Structures are given as structure tokens and as C-alpha cells.
Amino acid sequence: MIPFLLTLIIWSLRALLKSGGTLVIENLALRQQLAAYARCQKRVHVQHQERMFWATLSKVWASWRSALIIVKPATVIAWNRRGFQRYWRWRSRKPGRPPIPREHMALIRRISTDHPEWGEDRIAEELAIKLGVHHSTSTIRKYMVSRRKPRDGQTWRTFVKNHAKQIYACDLLTQHTAFFAVVYIFVVMEIASRRIVLINATTSPCLPWVKQQIRQMTPWGKVPRFLIHDNDGIFGQYRDRQTRVNQGRRYRCHLDLWLREVIGIEGIPIPYGAPNASPHIERFNRTLRKEALDHFIFLSARNILQVCREYVNYYNGARPSQATHAIPDPYPELSKPRPKTSRVVALPVLGGVQHDYRRAA
């Protein structure tokens, strides 16, 4: 910027020392050279200080457009607008009201910490009347110590963790055959151990079929206390998401009513549109699809059920669960002392899709 200004000052002094005729001839010669230069150059790179020069010249000289050759006049006007925007952006770099003194911030935090039940209005009156510090309630609310309001009851995660040994979760997933038939796979999991209690498949699911699966999963009185399920229409959902009252209890679907009165299980439907409320069974469905179902082309529901049952035997008895860091229901031979120097063998599962690694006896 400084060399550019020095050059302008030197040329201005030289112009003052020359006569009028000499300036006219020199101006004519310079304009001819600029015209020739403009014909051979497509675009001229203009530096920042040159933009500032033409932006300033356009404000003080009315005939600046007649002397401009390197760029269009609209470009100079755009430079003026851009400089105006940058100036006011710099002036307004700190929007809003100025911050209050630091000692006032510390005082507000101290009072809100000592008395979390006080609101911004009470703190504002305390500061104004007793201490002579006047601030708006919005400013005091900004610097108060924020606290999360305690919940009335336990969270869903806490409930599942505390009652994991008494909770089963069920879900349905679909699988297509080679003939484009849709097969529904019904899965029931024990939350505490991640053990798959039941798995079955059908092409025509209905509420009586689901009831029969639940009867089979609870033999000889081994009944869980809760059963988590989604809001599938197969479970007999009541219309328009209305609940039905029976003996002082509300039920969202017919399955919950039947579970309570016949089996003695309390059905817990998850919220609408919230599959993450039952993440354990959803994660198993993904594992089953990724490690077993995606590797085969099925011809019938029976073929799918065979693959699912073989994988469930491997999942319960030999596959370590990352959530519990254990095997849900390990094979009896896994509980026996194992030799430390014997050969490691890989037992194929599902024809070699998965492997069960053991030490040879």
C-alpha cells in the first residue's frame, strides 16, 4: 500500500511542474497505450490498494467513468458496496447489549447456587433492593446456574436395568424367499442374559398364532413379569390409538389384555415411532440378518426356520455377547476346564458362514 501511495504522489508532483500542452499530449499518449493494452488483455488482476484507489476516486471525481478502462464502472460500484458491508460488519462484530461486570455475574451465580428454588424475578429484586445492582430478568436468567429438573419417576433405561431379569422382549422381522413370498420371524429375548427364548417363522401371522408362541415360551410356570413389544397391528391394536379400560387398567392392544388376564404377564408397548425403546431385540434382529439370513437364498419358510434355529443355538451356546461380556446360555462342555496347549479347531456353523472356535480335547 505504501509504495502505491508514493508512486501516486510522485506522479502528481510531476504533473504540477509540467505545462498544460505537455500534459494534454502525455495524457493522449497514455490513453492510446491503455486502449492497445485493453485489446490484448482479457482480464486485469486488480490489487486491493487499487480497488481502494478507484473506490475513493469515484466519490471525489464526477468524471471517473470516462477515465476507467481496466474494469467496468459497475465493478467499482460493487467494490464500494463490499467495503461498506465490511465496515459495518466490523462495527457490529459484538451484537447485543454489552456484558455486565464480572462481579455481577459471579454474584448472580452465587445466589442461584445457594437458592436453586429462586427464579430470576426473585434474584432481580434481591439485587436491586438490597445491593443496588439493577439488571433485567433476562440478563439474570442468562447467568443463572442451570439445573435439570428432577423427573417424577425413574427413566426407561433405569427401569429396564433394574428389572432386566424379569423382562422379555419380542419382535417380528421379515425375510423374502426366492419366490417373493414374505416370511415373518417371531423372536423372544430375555434381556438380562440376551438369551433367545423362542424363534419361529410363518407366512401368515395373526394374533392367535402369536398367543400360541407365548404359551410355548412359558412352559411349567416360567413366566416373566414384563413383555416389551412394539405397536405392530398383529398384536390387535385398538383403533385410533385409543386405550381400552378393563378393571381399572388401560390397554393399548388386545395382546396386553390377554397377557394380563390369562398368562399373568404385564405387556409394555413401546412409544409410537420409537424403536430405540427396545434396542436389545432390534440389535439381535440386525445380527441375525447380517450373520445368517443375508448369506442364503431361501425357498420356503421351513428353510428360513431351519437357518434361524441353527443360528440361535450357536448364538445362545457359543457366541459371546458384547453387551454382557459372556455367552447367554453356554454349552455344558464350555464350563469344563480346558487344556491350554491343545490345538484350536473351528467348528463350522451354517455350513461355514460362522465358526465356533474350541480347543481340541
| CB within 8 Å of 197: residues ≥ 6 apart | 168, 188, 189, 190, 217
* pLDDT at 38 > cutoff 90: no
Say how far residue 218 (Cα) sits from the centre of its chain. Answer: 39
* Digit-coded pLDDT (tens) for 96-110: 677 888 999 999 999
| CB within 8 Å of 71: residues ≥ 6 apart | 44, 46, 54
CB 53 within 8 A of CB 4: yes
CB 293 within 8 A of CB 300: no
The pLDDT assigned to 229 comes to 94
What is the distance between the alpha carbons of residues 277 and 156, in angstroms, rounded to a whole number?
Answer: 8
pLDDT band at 5 (very low <50, low <70, confident <90, very high): low
The pLDDT assigned to 25 comes to 66
CB 195 within 8 A of CB 318: no
Say if pTM beats, i.e. exceeds, 0.75. no
DSSP annotation of 321 reads B
The domain 157-330 having CATH identifier 3.40.640.10: the answer here is no
* Digit-coded pLDDT (tens) for 255-271: 999 999 889 999 999 98
The pLDDT assigned to 341 comes to 78
* pLDDT at 41 > cutoff 70: no
CA 111 to each of CA 106, 118, 147, 149, 281: distance values in angstroms, whole numbers, following the listed order: 9, 8, 14, 18, 48
Phi, psi of 116 (to 5 degrees): -65, -15
Domain boundaries, the chain: 44-92, 102-143, 157-330
pLDDT band at 24 (very low <50, low <70, confident <90, very high): low
Q: To the nearest whole number, what is the mean pLDDT of the chain?
A: 83
Q: For residue 114, give the C-alpha cell.
A: 445457594
Residue 172's nearest CA partner among 238, 243, 233, 236 is: 233
Average pLDDT of the segment spanning 327-332 = 91
* Digit-coded pLDDT (tens) for 154-172: 788 888 888 999 999 999 9
Element (H, E) at 319: none
| CB within 8 Å of 144: residues ≥ 6 apart | 108, 109, 112, 120, 123
Strand partners, 348: 355
What is the distance between the alpha carbons of residues 276 and 160, in angstroms, rounded to a whole number?
Answer: 13
* Digit-coded pLDDT (tens) for 190-242: 999 999 999 999 999 999 999 999 999 887 667 899 999 999 989 988 876 56
* Own/partner pairs, 98-107, CB within 8 angstroms, 24+ separation: 100/135, 100/139, 100/143, 104/133, 104/135, 104/143, 105/143, 107/131, 107/133
